């Protein structure tokens, strides 16, 4: 199935952001934390950067799982960050999770990070190098990387089946966005080509569910 890019727009409309924040992504977000745990044999007590944090469910989960971690969470949509701030305050993690409103590539972050994270952002980017450039620019030597995203189905029919299976009870705006996101997602080979272009050959690209891929590994020797 040929990729159909999404319109280049942020989720900055309050109703759309709220519908997304109220949706149940617990299964995929729990999978993300499991994949992060697989990258760290023990506790993680460093600085993490979550790119495209949305309503901040993953930073909050990460902060609960790793009580000594500090997390910066970045998103370009202020409406989404407003919801993220409320969720972080309700979680009691306001001293450990810090929000940033920036577009990619992010150039105003002064911190270098021990872990670079992103979930469900890559398919929104018509220039994926914006993500890989940000990761390269913000990583400490040996930093871990975990990027999880949708995997483009083989056919429109398969995309429709995934929408029915995972979003049949969701609001119309989410069903529409999920279908568009499946069509805009990248394949495993396309992501491998992105990593080669970004000089990141050490990261592994694998399929981790019937609708997700993950890019994971460490940036050994990254200056």
Per-residue DSSP letters for 9-65?
Answer: --S-SHHHHHHHHHS--HHHHHHHHHHHHHH-SS---SEEEEES-TTSHHHHHHHHH
Give the model's pLDDT for residue 179.
Answer: 95
pLDDT at position 19, please?
63
- Domains located in the chain, CATH noted: 14-218 (3.40.50.150)
CA-based nearest residue to 116, from 102, 99, 103, 134: 134
Backbone angles phi and psi of 181, in degrees to 5: -65, -40
pLDDT of residue 222: 40
pTM: 0.92
Phi, psi values for residue 119, rounded to 5°: -130, 120
CA distance 75 to 73: 7
pLDDT in tens, the chain (223 residues): 999 998 755 555 565 656 665 666 789 999 999 999 999 988 999 999 999 999 999 999 999 999 999 999 999 989 899 999 999 999 999 999 999 999 999 878 888 999 999 999 999 998 999 999 999 999 999 999 999 999 999 999 999 999 999 999 888 888 999 999 999 999 999 999 999 999 998 899 999 999 999 999 999 744 3
Quick check: 84 and 25 in contact, CB under 8 A? no
- C-beta of residue 143 within 8 angstroms of C-beta of residue 116: yes
Res 223: pLDDT = 39
Radius of gyration (C-alpha) of the chain in whole angstroms = 16
Residue whose token pair is 């996101």: 181
pLDDT given at position 221 = 47
Task: Note the pLDDT of residue 202.
Answer: 84
Q: How much is the pLDDT for 16?
A: 62
Burial 48-84, CB ≥16 within 10 A → b, else e: bbbbbbbbbbbbbbbbeebeebbbbbbbbbebbbbbb
């Amino acid at each position: 199935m040929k990729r159909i890019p999404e319109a280049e727009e942020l989720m900055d409309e309050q109703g759309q952001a709220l519908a997304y924040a109220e949706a149940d992504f617990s299964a995929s977000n729990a999978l993300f934390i499991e994949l992060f745990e697989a990258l760290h044999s023990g506790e993680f007590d460093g600085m993490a950067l979550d790119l495209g944090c949305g309503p901040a469910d993953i930073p909050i989960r990460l902060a609960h799982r790793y009580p000594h971690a500090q997390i910066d969470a970045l998103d370009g949509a202020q409406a989404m960050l407003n919801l993220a701030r409320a969720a972080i305050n309700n979680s009691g993690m306001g001293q450990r999770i810090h929000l940033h409103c920036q577009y990619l590539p992010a150039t105003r972050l002064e911190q270098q990070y021990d872990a670079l994270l992103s979930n469900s952002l890559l398919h929104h980017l018509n220039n994926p190098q914006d993500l890989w450039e940000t990761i390269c620019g913000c990583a400490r030597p040996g930093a871990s990387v975990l990027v999880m995203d949708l995997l483009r189905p083989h056919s429109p029919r398969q995309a429709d089946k995934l929408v029915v299976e995972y979003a049949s009870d969701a609001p119309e705006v989410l069903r529409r966005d999920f279908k568009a996101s499946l069509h805009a997602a990248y394949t495993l080979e396309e992501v491998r080509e992105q990593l080669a272009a970004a000089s990141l050959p050490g990261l592994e690209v694998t399929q981790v569910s019937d609708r997700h891929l993950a890019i994971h590994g460490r940036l050994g020797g990254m200056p």
